Structure 1
Amino acid sequence: MAQELGFRGDVVDYYHRYRRGYPAAVIDALVAAFALTRDDTVVDLGCGTGQLTTPIAHRVRAVVGVDPEPDMLTRARSAAAERGVGNATWMIGTDADLPALGALLGMGALGAVTVGQALHWMRPDELFPTLFPLLRTGGGVAVVTNGTPLWLQDTDWSRALRRWLEAWLDKDLGYACGTDADSQLRYREALTVSGFDVREQHVEYAADLDLEHLVGGVYSALPVDRLPPPDQRPRFAEQLRHALPPEDRFAEHIRVTMLLGTKVQHQATELTGLRGK
């Protein structure tokens, strides 16, 4: 995960307010997949402002949110406090810091590591083998993809949004940030090679967006140096409004994909044996 992604300053406010949260069914699925209890510690890697971290905290003993952006963590900490969450710890770091965290907590100490919509910034082939010894048997890694980007969906308004954004940014926006089928297959294979027993689970839900949420969602995905200056943001919204179909609300269908890699007993034994040879 890069140290400087540009997700700071005003972007943090847009990220916290307009990024999709996770339905309760997603949290239930993660808890069930790894049999998480009040005895478990979970690490949420690339946690942002805590969209996944905070709801998981209600179900386990402790959760550690890890992100390279200090502004994200400051907002996550305050948001967790507002919700009465007292068992979350926030750590500046990247996937490269997980071995040090493991040394602090101990091998086999984690019930799960979650990565929500941030894995495309990381190196899965290196990350997953590193995580394996940090997890208890029955625990695992959850790669959680909360739908596709707003501008890559199969709707008229999404296609219009993409055309307008590509003209405004002067760049192609075909990159799916790890939500595409090829990336998901690559993540699955990397988990399998690392010793995890992998299965896929889905949760689907619908959202009804207005122009404010579309603009806020776009801003949440931009590095801070690409945000329009505050005095130009009303004009940005006006131009976008004219580029979209003449509707007041925009229907969005979201399919959450969870790749659940479990550390099972026979795999843990085999890998331990291999390391001992």
Structure 2
Amino acid sequence: MPDGWEWDRTLFQGSAAHYERGRLPYAPGLAETVARALGLDGRGRLLDVGCGPGTVLLALAQYFTEAVGLDPDEDMLAEAERQAGRRGVGNARWVSGRAEDLPAGLGTFRTVVFAQSFHWTDRDRVAATVRDMLEPGGAFVHVSDDKGEPAATTPLPWPASPYAEIGALVRDRLGPVRRAGQGRLVNGTPGREDLVLERAGFEGYEEHVVPAGQVVERTPDDLVAWTFSRSDSAPHLFGDRRAEFEEDLRALLRRISPDGRFAEHLPATRIMIWRPPRRKG
């Protein structure tokens, strides 16, 4: 977990309703790339750990008999269930719990996926548990935005989404040290998942990058939703000054783009896959 931070139930309190509008989608082709890499054929079970509002699970569910979403935030699970109904996904179910609660009587899985959620867990403990929950030939899949891909060269038709300026406004209101839940995020997000998975006994690593770079238009409502969808600027952190903060945020956005139009390039998506060693005998 990030240094200086401890998990609590307020981590994303109030954020679930802002996810669909605020967060950029993963690169088109994510689900198809995972299915092709793993040889998915509609059989087996999927577990999405830290599923949030079901973004990745709902895209992958078609390739499995059953898809199980695990998340400790009840509002996230309610939003995921709502999205499943809206999209007609009938083979998904939602379980309240933390990654550290696994195996939680959930059984074995063909695929276990963490979509930008693994860093919130006790990674060594969770990786070892997941290894034992995978059926023979199963896979641990980590999905993230690819920050390392070269920047797209297509010119933006409107001002770029002002994430640095939004971050400065959040720090001005909440203080210079990033907060999450009731704790503080001092050193940001850990990396080196490869070392964690290696310690847990995984092998056979492979990586796939789903390209993107398309220009995406963003509105002030989108960027307000993005801000409130984040753990370090979740609505509850502002207390009774939330409305005042939102007014200041919208004023900032009007100054940068008076006509209320922003743009950015959709980032590529990185898919990292590990498999446990083959069982002997």
On whether the aligned pair clears a TM of 0.5, the verdict is: yes
- In the TM superposition, what is the alpha-carbon distance from 1:6 to its structure 2 partner? 3.6
In the alignment, which residue of structure 2 is the partner of 1:216? Answer: 225
**Residues 16-95 of structure 1 mapped to structure 2, 5 A cutoff:** 16-95=20-99
Residue 187 of structure 1 aligns with which residue? 193
User: Cα deviations across residues 137-165 of structure 1 (Å, max 9, x unaligned)?
Assistant: 322111111356xxxxxx78333333333
- The answer on 1:201 being equivalent to 2:208 is yes
3-state DSSP class of the match of 1:99? Answer: coil
In the alignment, the residues of structure 1 paired with residue 70 and residue 21 of structure 2 have an alpha-carbon distance, to the nearest angstrom, of 19
Letter in 1 for 2:268: R
1:269 counterpart = 2:274: no
Picking from 225, 250, 258, the partner of 2:263 is 250
Three-state SS of the structure 1 residue aligned to 2:222 is: helix
Query: Partner residue of 2:237?
Result: 226
Instruction: Name stretches of at least 5 consecutive residues in structure 1 with no aligned partner.
Output: 149-154
Q: Which amino acid aligns with 2:219?
A: D
2:134 corresponds in structure 1 to: 135
Equivalenced residues, count = 251
What secondary structure is seen at the aligned counterpart in 1 of 2:95? strand
Partner of 2:272: 259
Q: How much is the aligned-residue C-alpha RMSD, in angstroms? A: 2.7
Task: Judge conservation of contact 1:66–1:90 (CA < 8 Å) in 2.
Answer: yes
2:242 matched to 1:238? no
Q: Which residue of 2 aligns with 1:166?
A: 171
Select the structure with the greater relative contact order (CA < 8 A; seq sep ≥ 6): 2
TM-score w.r.t. the length of structure 1 is: 0.79
- Structure 2, gaps ≥5 residues long: 2-6, 148-159, 179-184
Contact 2:41 2:64 in 1 (8 A): yes
Percent identity (aligned): 24
Matched residue SS, 1:257: strand
Question: Deviation at 1:131?
Answer: 1.0
Residue 5 of structure 1 and its aligned partner are, at CA, apart by: 3.3
Q: Does the Cα contact within 8 Å between 1:142 and 1:258 map onto a contact in 2?
A: yes
Instruction: Note closer, same or farther for the CA distance 1:202–1:56 as it changes in structure 2 (3 Å cut).
Output: same
TM-score, normalised relative to structure 2: 0.78
Q: Which has the higher helix share?
A: 1
Shift of 1:90: 0.2
C-alpha deviations, 1:17-58, integer Å up to 9, x for none?
322333341111222222222211000000111111111112
Counterpart in the other structure of 2:157: none
Shift of residue 15 of structure 1? Answer: 1.9
